[in-house]
Structure 1
Amino acid sequence: MYTYITTGTFFFLKKMKDKHPEDCMLLMQNPDTCQLWHETEGKTIFQSPRKYEAIHSSGRLEQKGFVACNHIPVREENRPVFEYTFTEQMKKIEALPGFTAFRLLRPLSNDTYIAMTIWKDEEAFKDWKQSSLFADSHSKAIQSAKSTNIFAGPSYLSVFVLDDEDEINTD
């Protein structure tokens, strides 16, 4: 399974998504940007997307909810260790209240993975971040990183809402 990501204005991307209702697409936005994600076994309709391979998936992609994307640069030689360790840690969140879906995306043209989680709402995401499970998994990741120098740079988080025009757009 592959995931292709493109950016643009909300209304342009919504029109593109609506034009292809048979495809699995997620339209997500935040105050700074809007993205359309296309998950498929085949080719994408996007002209110049960022390209990823979904190496672990759980849950069902929903058209509503809160999305958290952790962007994690990983050194080439450490990819297998990272993929195994991260996937095992993320399997533990699947039963949490408000959890909807998870995708670990391997980059096809750079070094930055995306760990995408979808939650029922922002409150469910915040509850997970305040949980002992979150603290435990992140402390293990930090210990592993210090001992193996696995990361190619700092990670960062981006958050979105899914296809909820009234949530952010006011024009």
Structure 2
Amino acid sequence: MNIYITYGTSDYLSPYHEKYEPSLLLEGNSNSSLVYETEGDNPFSEKHEYEIINQRGTLSGAGYVVMNHIPVTDEGRSLFEERFQNRAGLVEQEPGFVGIRVLRPLHQDPYIVMTLWESQGDFANWQQSKAYEEAHKTRGTSKGLPENLFSGKSFVKEYMVVK
């Protein structure tokens, strides 16, 4: 299963959202994007193409989406993926959780860990939870992923789902 992402204004992306299902039309602070999940080919001219390497839940029902973009070195890909394949899965038990997708880039894009929530408040509650603390307890420690695994700084984009 793959996910393809394209960017533009909500007005530009709306016809694609209607044409390609299941897809999510997302509106952020500075841009909008369309996320299309399919077994088929990429219908967009942009090459933001990802293979889903870990998933739980669905795309439908989400009202809020968080995408953590994580640049990983070529040498670090297998260790990064192994960690996410063996993750504890604590987020799935949180109120308001809808889904998660861990996305391997097929080109030069960073990995994306995409979590889907019923609301922005549900995501904020997750960040303040004991489960979040537990899931991220090794970050920045000798038990966490080594810093040389990353080829740059990660960044997060947050979006509201356009219904």
Question: What TM-score results when the alignment is normalised by the length of structure 1?
Answer: 0.86
Secondary structure (helix, strand or coil) at the match of 1:158 reads strand
CA shift, 1:13, in A, is 0.7
- AA of the residue aligned to 2:26: M
**C-alpha distance in structure 1 between counterparts of 2:16 and 2:151, whole Å:** 34
Asked if residue 9 in structure 1 is aligned to residue 9 in structure 2, the reply is yes
- SS for the counterpart of 1:140 is coil
**C-alpha distance in 1 between matches for 2:42 and 2:58:** 20
Report the Cα offset of residue 63 of structure 1. 5.2
Counterpart of 1:131 in structure 2: which amino acid? S
Contact 1:67–1:161, Cα closer than 8 Å, also in 2: yes
SS of the counterpart of 1:76? coil
- Please tell me whether residue 66 in structure 1 is matched to residue 57 in structure 2: no
Flag the 1:34–1:111 CA change in 2: closer, same or farther, 3 A. closer
Closer, same or farther: CA 153–30 of 1 in aligned 2, 3 Å:
same
In 2 relative to 1, CA 83–101 (structure 1 residues): closer, same or farther, beyond 3 Å? same
Task: Look up the equivalent residue of 1:38 and give its one-letter code.
Answer: Y
Once the two structures are superposed, residues 62-86 of structure 1 have per-residue CA deviations (whole angstroms, 9 ceiling, x without a partner) of 1541101101111111111111213
Structure richer in helix, relative to its length: 1
Where do 1:113-132 residues align within 5 Å? 113-132=111-130
Aligned alpha-carbon RMSD (Å): 1.7
Indicate the SS of the match to 2:136. helix
TM-score (norm 2): 0.90
Give 1:9 shift.
1.2
Identify the residue that residue 27 of structure 2 maps to in structure 1: 29
Residue 19 of structure 1 and its aligned partner are, at CA, apart by 2.8
Deviations 1:25-55 (A, max 9, x none): 1110112100001111111221223111111
What is the SS of the residue equivalent to 1:58? strand
Which residue is equivalent to 1:168? none
Long gaps (5+) in structure 2:
none
Give the gaps of 5 or more residues in structure 1: 165-171
1:80 aligns with 2:78: yes
1:24/1:105 CA distance change after superposition, 3 Å: same
Q: Residue 13 and residue 71 in structure 1: after superposition, are their counterparts in 2 closer, same or farther (change >3 A)?
A: same
Question: Which amino acid is 1:53 matched to?
Answer: E
Is the Cα–Cα contact under 8 Å of residues 74 and 111 in structure 1 kept in the other structure? Answer: no
Runs of 4+ in 1 over 3 A off after TM superposition: none
